[in-house]
Amino acid sequence: MRILVIEDDPKIAGFIRSGLEGEGFTVDLAADGEIGLERVLEGGYDLVILDLMLPKLDGFEVLRRMREEGVQTYVLVLSARGGVDDRVRGLEIGADEYFVKPFSFVELLARVRAMLRRKQANETTIVVDPFRLDLHERTVTRDGKTVELTPREFQLFLLFMENPDQVLSRAMLAERVWGYHFDTGTNVIDVYVNYLRRKLGHSGEKFLVAVRGVGYVFRPANCIREGI
């Protein structure tokens, strides 16, 4: 999951980023409203954490322009402005959550996870050409042809489909697919990635790419570019 934090205070931004990355999220930062809006409009984010008192373009304006452009990415406003009028205005413009500073990271994380669960509940399919994954039916197709996966393979591929072109560490894959008690001394992750490569099509190593010493990255564009 990819999160954008639009926050001009470097200490707060760094604190949030460090905490979320420690939980396995991919986090980008924007230090002012103009840069934040530009990145949001580029797409690819599952959630935006948005401060209101920003330089160049305040958070209300960032949110308003997002919604005017049809961007439906979930937004969690995180602001020191905790008055009722500010809360109402933020929610009316299009915020999905409003959280007041100072804050507990544990509570922020709980809210982030709850929002992402709602997002996933509203999305039954994930499409990353040439693959289509149905969360309800728990099926995967490639170019319309069914790919038979075991439950563990499906969970692993779901993680890749949710994070295309993002390097996923072995530690993250282990935690999210096998749980906290995963035996780090085994090569089971590499074994399952090879299972996926064989099942998802010829030359699977070209789109499930090993990153030496880190983990793997899913590059779906390679499937189309090379016709594999």
- What is the spatial distance between Cα 158 and Cα 160, in angstroms, rounded to a whole number? 5
Beta strand 167-169 with 215-218 is: antiparallel
1 against 139, higher pLDDT: 139
Quick one: average pLDDT of 92-116? 88
Top-confidence residue, 20 or 162: 20
Query: Does the pLDDT at position 227 exceed 50?
Result: no
Distance (Å, whole) CA 207 – CA 223: 6
180, amino acid identity: Y
Amino acid at 77: V
Kindly report the number of other CB atoms within 10 A of residue 29's CB atom: 19
Decide if pLDDT at 53 tops 80: yes
Convert the pLDDT of each residue in 172-183 to its tens digit. Answer: 888 778 764 556
- Dump the DSSP string for the chain: -EEEEE-S-HHHHHHHHHHHHHTT-EEEEESSHHHHHHHHHH---SEEEE-SS-SSS-HHHHHHHHHHTT---EEEEEES---HHHHHHHHHHT-SEEEESS--HHHHHHHHHHHHHHHHHT--EEEETTEEEETTTTEEEETTEEE---HHHHHHHHHHHHSTT-EEEHHHHIIIII-TT--TTS-HHHHHHHHHHHHH-TTGGGTEEEETTTEEEE-THHHHHTT-
Stretch 26-38: mean pLDDT = 95
Domains of the chain: 2-121 (3.40.50.2300), 151-225 (1.10.10.10)
| Mean pLDDT of all residues in 75-90 | 89
pLDDT of residue 228: 40
Q: Tell me the mean pLDDT in the region 160-166.
A: 84
